[in-house]
Structure 1
Amino acid sequence: MEGVLLGFGIVLTLVVVGVLASILLPTHTSAMERGLTPVIFYITNPALMFVLLAETELGEVLSVYTPIALIVAAAASGLYALASRFLLKRGAAQTASGAMASCYVNAGNIGIPIALYAVGTSTPVVSVLLAQLLVIAPVFLSVFAWCGRSTTTTAAARSGASAPTLGRTVLRSVANPVTIGAAVGALFSVTSLTLPEVLWTPIEMLGQASIPLLLVVFGMSLRGQKPLAQRSLRADVVLGTVVKLAVMPVIAWLVAYYLFGVEGTALLGVVAMAALPTAQNVFLFSSQFGLKVTLVRDIILVSSLLALPAVLLVALLLG
């Protein structure tokens, strides 16, 4: 319990720093966001993924924890998709974006400090990152590309340009710096390669800067946000948030405990990762493929606000 409180306290403090910066420095906020975002995306986040995976024993992660993460994400997103299509009668694009928002957890930002302080190891968060980067994201990006192709094709026809192929669009989105950093880190882990300290230490320092910068930028983006403002999407936001923070942790507990025999602190780590809020990457992916992002943005914000009590409840029940 103390580890969870400490982890969330660190996260909330950094988010508050971002909010205060946006309030006290309103004329500089947009410039800071524009400047920090590419630094995080192209430099610090890939460095963090490289360091995490290079230091992890992938055999243990891939044999148990990554399959759990994949099964849990598939079950949660599938339940959302069924409810969205057959109960709320939503279209394919809206269902797809909501399904990803209901299962793609904020492991990179919030998951790492929670895992380190509450569980004492990065294994739970690395397993989720591997599942999301190597399987879940490519699958959803393929669906997003298919859903967004009509819009892209129409826009290209109007401008006289040729529309990008589905394969090229997905490849460009999946082959991003974060995925490349993770792949290189996995290669170092599998082959037991090491870097000289003069290279490893700067990369490690860059990786350590990623989480604080991400949380500060996220705090800056919260100012002026009004969740649930669009009345027609409120049922979708509630559905996505409930699946993310309530249904997904229960599925994680059932799968980990009964199918894989995970117990104790390891079980706490698996379920706590499932109770994390939706990752901001879902907003980036949805907007990149021309899908409507209001639903995703609201699920991210609401789940971020309610994640602390969700993870605390998990720690109370399993800690």
Structure 2
Amino acid sequence: MGDIIGLLLPFFGLILIGYVAAKVTKQPAEALGWMNTFIIYAALPALFFKLVSRTPMEQLARVDFILGEIFATYLIFTVVFLIGFLIRKTSFEDCTIQAFAGAYGNIGYMGPGLALLAFGEAAAVPVALIVCFENAAHFIVAPAMMAAAGGDGRSPLAVAGDIARKVLLHPFIISTAVGFAFAAMAWQPAEPVQRLIDYLAQAAAPCALFAMGVTLALRPVRRVPVEIGYIAVFKLIVLPLTTFSVLSLIGGFEPVWIYSATLLSALPTATNVFVISQQYGVWQERASASILIITLASVFTLPAILYLIHSGFLSAGLLP
């Protein structure tokens, strides 16, 4: 257990440093803009390209893995949505944000670095596939749900165009697609270019985690949602166990693929959930509070999930 805590300490330590730095320096939210630009448009795309381009093409074509992981994510999304909509009688728009809070993890900022440290280079491919395809799914579902709720005043054609643009032009997806092309052709960039990619990739995790801490500090908790009790349980406990179960039942995957997907499913809610809530003017303060509370709770749940994996309790062969 000590090794697991030691593994997670740098990650939560960087988030804490960012949080404290924001509180001490009292910089405005706009000051974070260029760092986020660097992370989203340079560092993380370089990391995803590096992971994918060096992978044999047959490993990148595991459609069953992608479909299984996305099925598990949206199974929990649906359950959280229905609890809010049918049982708590909450509005369609609020339920959509709540469902994202329960199913949309911080896979881009925290996932690659943590999975690679926990499971080694063998985790690179499943992590890259999850980040690429799950983000694409979220870019499609969020505007589609808001349009269905009537919270998006644009025409269906405008909504469809916005979805296509977000999916096709997002830096994570472009970099992964280019990585696919290089892997298919067995190409590698020239050495100077590869060195630049390596430098950018090495900066991805530290910068992303620091920025995450700053973002959490700049969104103080003003309104704690009643729903946080069950949303946190679904996000941090039920979703990773569901992902593990679905992928184990499908079968045919290397254990590290199942473990990587389980770990990414256990990550706290992505800060993008607040961005979505802000974009549509729905559940904003409570989305901010949910992200902070679930991130704090993950300090305890992530070590537990990693312990269950490394102890063999969550064995890849546990389910038939």
Fold-level similarity (TM above 0.5): yes
Which residue does 1:43 correspond to in 2? 42
Give the match's secondary structure for 1:242. Answer: helix
Give the match's secondary structure for 1:108. Answer: coil
Which residue does 2:226 correspond to in 1? 234
Shift of 1:24: 3.2
Name the amino acid aligned to 1:206. Answer: L
**Is 1:253 the counterpart of 2:244 in the alignment?**
yes
Name the amino acid aligned to 2:177. Answer: A
Q: Is the 8 A contact 1:105 1:273 kept in 2?
A: yes
Which residue does 2:315 correspond to in 1? none
Name the amino acid aligned to 1:202. Answer: L
Shift of 1:190: 2.7
Q: State the Cα RMSD in Å.
A: 2.7
Q: What is the distance in 1 between the residues matched to 2:7 and 2:231?
A: 24
Q: Return 5+ residue gaps in structure 1 as ranges.
A: 154-161
Which residue does 2:301 correspond to in 1? 310
Question: Aligned pair in 2 of structure 1 residues 185, 261: CA closer, same or farther (>3 Å)?
Answer: closer
Question: Aligned pair in 2 of structure 1 residues 143, 247: CA closer, same or farther (>3 Å)?
Answer: same
Percent of pairs with identical residues? 23
Which residue does 2:25 correspond to in 1? 25
Q: What is the distance in 2 between the residues matched to 1:48 and 1:225?
A: 28
Q: Is the 8 A contact 1:283 1:297 kept in 2?
A: yes
Moved more, 261-270 or 206-215: 261-270
What is the correspondence of 1:129-148 to structure 2 with a 5 Å cutoff?
Answer: 129-147=131-149
Q: Return 5+ residue gaps in structure 2 as ranges.
A: 311-320
Give the match's secondary structure for 2:90. Answer: coil
**Counterpart among 270, 278, 301 of residue 261 in structure 2:** 270
Shift of 1:205: 1.3
What is the correspondence of 1:52-131 to structure 2 with a 5 Å cutoff?
Answer: 52-57=51-56, 59-63=58-62, 64-120=64-120, 121-131=123-133
C-alpha deviations, 1:43-100, integer Å up to 9, x for none? 2232222222223345335425323311211211111111111111112111112212
Question: Aligned pair in 2 of structure 1 residues 284, 204: CA closer, same or farther (>3 Å)?
Answer: farther
**Counterpart among 194, 199, 205 of residue 199 in structure 2:** 205
Question: Aligned pair in 2 of structure 1 residues 165, 312: CA closer, same or farther (>3 Å)?
Answer: same
Give the TM-score of the pair, scaled to structure 2: 0.84
Question: Aligned pair in 2 of structure 1 residues 186, 261: CA closer, same or farther (>3 Å)?
Answer: closer
Q: What is the distance in 2 between the residues matched to 1:173 and 1:86?
A: 31
**Counterpart among 150, 166, 178 of residue 173 in structure 1:** 166
Q: What is the distance in 1 between the residues matched to 2:150 and 2:257?
A: 39
Q: Is the 8 A contact 2:52 2:125 kept in 1?
A: no
Shift of 1:31: 5.0
Give the TM-score of the pair, scaled to structure 1: 0.84
Shift of 1:299: 2.5
C-alpha deviations, 1:283-311, integer Å up to 9, x for none? 22333344442333222222211113222
